[in-house]
Amino acid sequence: MNLFFAPWLRAGLLAAAALSAPFAALAQNGGDYPNKPIRLVVPYPPGGGTDVIARIVQERFSSLLGQQVLIDNRGGAAGSIGTEVVAKSAPDGYTVLFTLSSHTINPAIYPKLGFDTAKDFAPVGMVASLPQILVANTHFPANTVAELVAMAKAKPDSISFASVGNGSPGHLAGELLKLRTGTQMTHIPTGAAARP
């Protein structure tokens, strides 16, 4: 089984030492693990929230494990492209997925994924909770959520909102806002890529 970290599972950034326990267990079972660099696949582009958190823990993991932990960003399709890379890698603990809730959401959105999130992965640890925020250009006429909702109700489908992809937390937050307010807005998946 391949391993994954899920930054969205728990509030607060946990100590990297606590997350190194599963790797220590591999060392006990496999003898000299790790004896080469570990590839930490982040299935999102550099600079996003998941990538930033991965880089925060990267140095500590490297220090604790005595091996380099190298980040490999593989963005696209709400995380499923990088996730597939990990699913098809050797299940030896040297290729690890650092992902978020789209890992469990994608099977409902993409019926033909190249992996099975339940069978091909084993959870390793919880790292952080990432809030969703609503922001707009400073020239946007609404200054509050109430004003945004009023605008969206007055002119259905005249407002669009962006996310990193279909099924991503930002997309689902936008859909929930629409559902709870009875508005119609257009979703723009800015980081989405066509499924291979």
Tens of pLDDT, residue by residue over 116-138, are 988 999 888 878 776 788 888 89
121 shares its domain with 136: no
More confident residue, 112 or 73: 73
Same domain, 35 and 53: yes
Examine the pLDDT at 49 and tell me if it is beyond 70: yes
Domain finish residue from 126, 161, 178: 126
Regarding whether 42 and 90 lie in a shared domain, the answer is yes
Whether residue 75 sits in one domain with residue 12: yes
Q: 2 pLDDT exceeds 50?
A: no
Which residues are 189's β-sheet partners? Answer: 163
Question: Does residue 15 sit in the same domain as residue 49?
Answer: yes
What's residue 127's pLDDT?
Answer: 82
Are 102 and 178 within one domain?
A: no
pLDDT over 90 percentage in the chain: 41
Domain count, the chain: 2
Output 154 or 167, whichever has higher pLDDT.
Answer: 154
The CATH number of the domain holding residue 49 is 3.40.190.150
Determine the structural domain holding residue 56 and report its residue range: 2-126
Check whether residue 136 and residue 109 sit in a common domain: no
Q: Which residues contact 8 (CB under 8 A, 6 or more apart)?
A: 100, 101, 128, 129, 130, 169
Of 98-112, 134-148, 151-165, where does mean pLDDT reach its minimum? 98-112
- Asked if 48 and 117 sit in the same domain, the reply is yes
4 forms beta bridges with: 97, 123
Q: What is the predicted pLDDT for the residue at 65?
A: 86
Does the global pTM surpass 0.75? no
Mean pLDDT calculated for residue range 112-116: 91
* pLDDT tens track for 67-91: 999 999 998 877 889 999 999 999 8
Question: What is the Cα 60 distance to its own chain's centre?
Answer: 20
- Among 104, 126, 148, where does a domain finish? 126
Domain shared by 80 and 170, yes or no: no
Q: Are residues 80 and 151 in the same domain?
A: no
Pair 85, 140 in one domain: no
**Of 83, 104, 126, which closes a domain?**
126
pLDDT (average), residues 106-115: 86
Output the CA angle 95-103-54, nearest 5 degrees. Answer: 50
